[in-house]
Structure 1
Amino acid sequence: MTSIWKDNYTEGLKMDVHKSNRMGRKPSVKSVLPNSPTRAEHSGSTNSDAEQEQASSGPCNPEDNLEEAQLVQGSVSSSSHHYLMTTRELQLYWLKEKHERKPVKLLFEIPSTRIAEDFLSKFVLYQIVIISTGSFDENKAFIERRYSDFETLHRDLLKDFKGEMEDVLFPKKILIGNLTTELISKRILALKDYLTELYMISCVRKSKKFLEFFIKPEVEEGYGCVRGGKYGRAMEIFQQVVCLQEKLTPHCPILMVPSLCALVVCHKDQDNGEKAYEMGMKALSILERHTGHRYYIPLLDTMISLAYRIGKDFVSLQDRLQKVKKRMVDTEKMNFTLKELAVRECVD
């Protein structure tokens, strides 16, 4: 779809609705629709736009507008059958479109705290719940962090984004009385606002330091469990990590691949082939455009054996593996199994 066609469509829609309102009637389905191109023209222009965008964007480019291209493509393909809808069906369709296009943002809540202690002192652990807005979120991800973790995050972010964070307020450190109910209540509000303000800054929320605040301790613990053979505990941790990554890294989903592959390893060693296959296919869908990734060949190799075991299509996976091996220059990536890669993660 060209930009000219979109502008004409929008302008025509506004004029028709305005005219209908003046005449005291609802716009008909036929009158709302523009003179749309033919199906062949739809297909050709959509594919051309998608190919140009794919060629010009990198895997983690925050300006790639991939989501917008997908929305435009959906509008083109769906508009050709609008004339078959009743007025009520058309109203429901546009209501659904408006809901689906509503931007998804994150909401940070701190619903509870608890007092913990180490060998030296007591401290407060704040439970942070991350909720996706814009639709019902049944996968609420949560973690626990102490004030010193927030303090470290703030100090590290200021090194890279001091100018962008000049208006971000961080609650001051208090040495005496920091375990009182009154202070904890004030800190809950202040820390919640702090995370919200950070997330509103694009370069900050996409930074490695911001992401590591939410997942690094859990990731390190999870890989430690994998190395120790504690697959049940590792699965619990990585399920939470993947949930967090889905919310925090929509700009670069490839960051989820190691965590998904760790889940494949854990489910496979627990003889849960169906779940391992599900996680593996999710990782493969992300790696379709990144066949040179270090996890791609080991994952394909594992998925072939899984598919054979549970009665899934393994022939197509074998074909993909053979094709990518023929193009491989660096054969070192073929020397490790998926489990070996998982065991080597987070090892200094």
Structure 2
Amino acid sequence: MAEANGDIMAPGDLPSDSSLTTKELQQNWREVKRNDRPVRLLFVIPSSRIVEHALSKYVVYQVVVMRSGSFDSRRVSVERRYSDFLSFHHKLLQEFGEELEEVVLPRKLLTGNFSPDNIQERRLALQDYLAKLFAARCVRYSHHLAAFFTEQEQRRGHSLIRAGQFRAAVEQLQTVLEIQEKLLPWQKPTLVVTTLSALAVCHRDLDEPEQAFGSAHRALPPVRRYGLKHHRAALLELLVDVGYQLGRPVAQLQEELSGLRDAERGEAYCRSLKELVIHEFL
């Protein structure tokens, strides 16, 4: 494979007297096209299961979210019922009705909901539905898309925090964060702020200062950029406190926090990060 200064060369860039074989040229061009391939989200529904409670019975579908265009080893997944898809679809139609005229949600079954053949048919139909939805630009950039894939787990994670079950909350929130990171090419960077803040709180209460500092530090740039004042002050406070504990240089963070307190006259400093997190998703 021909290279120039370590870079892969496209066939059109090769000199006319190149000694590369046709096979090598084709292989090189495939590599160029693979590198230029845009990143997309892929949705796979590989399985389903029937859930039975005392007064209810329903099917849940495992939805795997992956990114294409590069090797994605993180096959993160969530479980959703047909009613979740139905609610999601109605919200999208209310906002983007005309743009989604050709995207049809698989119909609701009146009978035979638990037939293996019907479950299999619906599983494939829902997978196709998600692919068609994502092809619509308005959906890719809609906050409804992120909410569909993460809100249930976020609410569960924050409930666990309020119950003091921080390790279980971390497991829930880590799934949320991984999905949100896959969505970030199409969503605002602030999407991850709430999740990273909650993870920072959990790690701090679990006496894991390195992880707490890392989560809060990752959340700070989008908070600064988009002017989330309450989160900014709370994150800075945690970073300063945990930074001192870890022996990190925190003078600039302390100066930023002091300046924020003075500028806002205490208003942006009224709640700690834990207080902000606890009041999310109430």
Band of TM-score, shorter chain: 0.7 to 0.9
TM-aligned CA deviation for residue 333 of structure 1: 1.6
> What SS is found at the alignment partner of 2:50?
strand
Within 1, Cα distance between the matches of 2:192 and 2:54?
Answer: 35
Q: Which residue of 2 aligns with 1:286?
A: 222
| Higher CA-based Rg | 1
For 1:256 and 1:330, the matched residues in 2 are separated by: 28
What amino acid maps onto 2:66 in structure 1? I
* 1:188-232 per-position Cα deviation (integer Å, ceiling 9, x unaligned): 110001111111111112222222111111111111111111101
Q: Distance in 2 between matches of 1:226 and 1:300?
A: 21
2:266 is matched with which residue? Answer: 331
Q: 1:103: which partner in 2?
A: 38
Q: 1:329 to 1:273 in 2, by over 3 A?
A: closer
Are 1:320 and 2:256 counterparts?
yes
1:210 aligns with 2:145: yes
Is the 8 Å Cα contact of residues 116 and 123 (structure 1) preserved in structure 2?
Answer: yes
Q: 1:135 and 2:128 equivalent?
A: no
Per-residue displacement from partner, 1:52-82 (whole Å, max 9, x unpaired)?
xxxxxxxxxxxxxxxxxxxxxxxxxxxxxxx
1:98 offset after TM fit, Å? 6.4
> 1:146: which partner in 2?
81
Partner of 1:259: 195
Partner SS state of residue 98, structure 2: coil
Contact in 2 for aligned 1:106/1:247 (Cα 8 Å): yes
Q: Which runs of 5+ in 2 are unaligned?
A: 1-8, 21-27
Structure 2 length as normaliser, TM-score? Answer: 0.86
Residue of structure 2 equivalent to 1:307: 243
Cα distance change on mapping 1:270 and 1:14 into 2, 3 Å? closer
Match of 2:18 in 1: 25
Equivalent position SS for 2:114: coil
Structure 1 pair 106–290 and aligned structure 2 pair: CA distance change class (3 A): same
Task: Indicate if the aligned counterparts of 1:206 and 1:249 stay in contact, CA closer than 8 A.
Answer: no
State the shift of 1:100 in Å: 5.2
Q: Which secondary structure state, in structure 1, belongs to the residue aligned with residue 58 of structure 2?
A: strand
* Gap runs ≥5 in structure 1: 1-12, 28-91
1:18-49, Cα deviation, whole Å (9 max, x unpaired): 8x32xx2379xxxxxxxxxxxxxxxxxxxxxx
Q: TM-score, normalised by structure 1?
A: 0.71
What's the offset of the Cα at 1:122?
A: 1.6
Instruction: Kindly indicate whether the alpha-carbon contact (under 8 Å) linking 1:235 and 1:263 is maintained by their aligned counterparts in 2.
Output: yes
The separation in 1 between residues aligned to 2:35 and 2:211, in whole angstroms, is 29
C-alpha distance in 1, partners of 2:140/2:160? 28
What is the identity percentage for the equivalent residue pairs of Structure 1 and Structure 2? 38
Aligned mates of 1:113, 1:292 — CA distance in 2: 40
User: Counterparts of 1:225 and 1:14 in 2: how far apart (Å)?
Assistant: 53
The partner residue of 1:277 within 191, 213, 232 is: 213
Inter-partner Cα distance in structure 1 for 2:65 and 2:74 = 9
Partner in structure 1 of residue 54 of structure 2: 119
